[in-house]
Amino acid sequence: MTAPAAAPARPSPVRYLVLFGAVMIQLILGTVYGYSIFWAPLQAAVYPPVLTQAEAEARVAAGEVVTDFTVVADAAAARQLKDRQQGYLKYAFSICILSFALVMVVAGRVQDVLGPRIPALIGGVLMALGFFLAGVMNHKVVLLVCHAGLCALIALLLISVAGLLRKRLDPQGTQNGLSVSLAVAVLVTVAGVLVGEQYVGRLAEFDRVALLWGTIGFLAGAGIGFAYVCPIAALVKWFPTAKGLVSGIAVAGFGFGAYIFKDPTIGAPPFFKAHGIASFFLVHALVCLVVVSLGALLLRNPPGTPPKFATESSWQETLARPAFYVLWLMFFSGALAGLMVISIIAEFAKEQLIAAAGGAALTSEQLSALAAKGAAAVGWLAIFNAVGRVFWGLVSDRIGRTITFVVMFLFQAGMMFMLATMNTELSLAVAASIVGFNFGGNFALFPSATADLFGAKNLGANYGWVFTSYGIAGVMGVAAGNTAKLITGSYTAAFQLAAGLCVLSAVLAIGLAIAHRKARPA
């Protein structure tokens, strides 16, 4: 599947500054994989504490007021309610991943036209804005502004669709149509503020959950989507003979960013335990803005014509080729397996350790100790996620994309089949490491394979379309895991589904290579 480049790598030292800027950006973008640390503090900040009936009666008997609590029948009902509350919050992660992938389609095209610097700067601003608004979510004016912004966004989307239809029916009416569209957008925004005044801030915790979906979900995801593709597209042009390796090094920053972000000593947890989750969001907004912007200023394309590859396809031509859909399904499978595990690994590891140690018979101190041991699996996954990006990228440059895809997918399938049986601290750490190792490889192999198949000139737009599979996988992976757990009480069925898809992708990789070889001109 690998196509030899026609031009040698440029010797300019500037390319190493570009690589450094790429890693800076990816370190910040990778914090999206640390979202799991938000759910507990956000649950405490958004929802009232939960008490069982017995606990409430005991507090009343002691003279305490329990009006600010949610009272449920028993401990089982309390656990179910807390799971449901965290489930609502977790959709912020799914929305972020989906927004990330969909926005990257637009960002990729912008990058191809304007170069990598401007879309990366836009990405830093959007990501910072998302976390800033989440940090001030307790102010009603913020809720009103976000509600109005949502109304304006919906209006603009509808107007855009109407404009496309009008342009087909009345090509001469474009100017008048633009004026009407802008007027309608302004009116809808104003109406959004007036209507929102009647109910925003009065819907208990729902308005804050919705705001989190829109801020650390949609806005932050859009920021990641704008910034993510820029370093990869630039580096593939600067290092045409080592596409897999440089893609792997750049996106390794994404994995290490998640590890640093989650670290219980130097990462985010000690900060928001001391100062609160809202204060952390404000500080993180500033960090996103500064670091991503500095990294963006180091990005640039090589001077002159970019290196030519065997095939140069526009995004329209790419979408017309069957190879695109095969590559899309392969990425979907690999991303679904990894994102499913990332979204549940801390809770899954804790449950496995508690069940193996005796479950209900354990004391609260023992339960806390096991939960801490289970959380260590998150760190191992993040470390090997980063390592896998460099390893698989380097290997693919040496032995070819096809063999690397097959080995990686089969390795992941084997681990997913066995994952539900892991119930010791060591086995869970190994399992999390292997899943992260293989999952990380996707982000080195797929941009390189996209350049191999469709060329480097329009890599931003082409890889943006391939990357939509990642967004869909983020939603379906979380949904599959949650559904399996609710119906069967276990994640086993979801793990087996992911394993089967990985096996399918290994087969597809072989078929894609055969078809590409036959289609290549002699």
Pick 67 or 6 by higher pLDDT. 67
Q: pLDDT tens digits, residue range 275-288?
A: 889 899 999 999 99
Residue given tokens 């927004």 in the structure block = 99
Quick check: 202 pLDDT over 70?
no
Q: pLDDT tens digits, residue range 216-238?
A: 999 999 999 999 988 888 888 88
Residue 408 is predicted with a pLDDT of: 95
Identify the CATH number of the domain in which residue 388 sits: 1.20.1250.20
Flag whether 214 is in a domain. yes
Looking at residues 489-506, what average pLDDT do you find? 91
Mean pLDDT lowest among 49-63, 113-127, 419-433: 49-63
Q: Do 397 and 438 belong to one domain?
A: yes
Q: 137 pLDDT band (50/70/90 cuts)?
A: confident
Q: Do 266 and 380 belong to one domain?
A: no
Flag whether 373 is in a domain. yes
What percentage of the chain carries pLDDT values higher than 70? 83
Where would I find the H helices in 240-363? 243-262, 268-275, 277-297, 315-319, 322-357
Q: Do 293 and 326 belong to one domain?
A: no
Q: Do 185 and 280 belong to one domain?
A: yes
* Structure token pair of residue 196: 């929102």
* Amino acid identity for residue 400 in this structure: G
Q: pLDDT tens digits, residue range 126-136?
A: 999 999 998 88
Quick check: 411 pLDDT over 90?
yes
Flag whether 6 is in a domain. no
Flag whether 47 is in a domain. no
Residue 282 is predicted with a pLDDT of: 93
- Residue ranges making up the domain that contains 153: 15-37+94-307
Beta bridge partners of 71: 51
Pick 301 or 159 by higher pLDDT. 301
Q: Do 285 and 322 belong to one domain?
A: no
Quick check: 504 pLDDT over 90?
yes
Residue 307 is predicted with a pLDDT of: 46
Q: Report the C-alpha dihedral over residues 376, 381, 384, 390, rounded to 10 degrees.
A: -150
* Final residue before a domain boundary, out of 240, 275, 307: 307
Q: 54 pLDDT band (50/70/90 cuts)?
A: confident
Q: Do 377 and 263 belong to one domain?
A: no
Residue 110 is predicted with a pLDDT of: 87
Looking at residues 441-469, what average pLDDT do you find? 87
Q: 520 pLDDT band (50/70/90 cuts)?
A: low
Q: 1 pLDDT band (50/70/90 cuts)?
A: low
Flag whether 511 is in a domain. yes
Looking at residues 65-82, what average pLDDT do you find? 74
Q: Residue 51 belongs to what H/E stretch?
A: strand 50-52
Residue given tokens 């990330």 in the structure block = 100
Residue 404 is predicted with a pLDDT of: 93
Residue 171 is predicted with a pLDDT of: 56
Flag whether 213 is in a domain. yes
* Final residue before a domain boundary, out of 307, 329, 352: 307
Quick check: 188 pLDDT over 70?
no
- Out of 193-197, 253-257, 324-328, give the one with best mean pLDDT: 324-328
Residue 168 is predicted with a pLDDT of: 59
Identify the CATH number of the domain in which residue 161 sits: 1.20.1250
Residue 166 is predicted with a pLDDT of: 61
Pick 6 or 516 by higher pLDDT. 516
Q: Do 202 and 215 belong to one domain?
A: yes
Q: Do 384 and 279 belong to one domain?
A: no
Q: Quick one: DSSP state of residue 308?
A: P
Residue 154 is predicted with a pLDDT of: 64
Long-range contact list for 153-161, CB < 8 A, 24+ apart? Answer: 154/188, 155/184, 155/185, 155/188, 155/189, 156/185, 159/184, 159/185
Looking at residues 366-394, what average pLDDT do you find? 83
Residue 273 is predicted with a pLDDT of: 83
Residue 15 is predicted with a pLDDT of: 85
Q: 87 pLDDT band (50/70/90 cuts)?
A: confident
Q: Do 204 and 235 belong to one domain?
A: yes
Flag whether 22 is in a domain. yes
CB 142 within 8 Å of CB 219:
no
Q: Do 110 and 247 belong to one domain?
A: yes
Residue given tokens 């700067």 in the structure block = 121
* Final residue before a domain boundary, out of 307, 331, 346: 307
Residue 522 is predicted with a pLDDT of: 46
Flag whether 79 is in a domain. no
Residue 8 is predicted with a pLDDT of: 46
Q: Do 382 and 329 belong to one domain?
A: yes
Q: Residue 126 belongs to what H/E stretch?
A: helix 117-135
Mean pLDDT lowest among 155-164, 292-301, 312-321: 155-164
Quick check: 9 pLDDT over 50?
no
Q: Do 340 and 297 belong to one domain?
A: no
Pick 310 or 409 by higher pLDDT. 409
Number of domains in the chain: 2
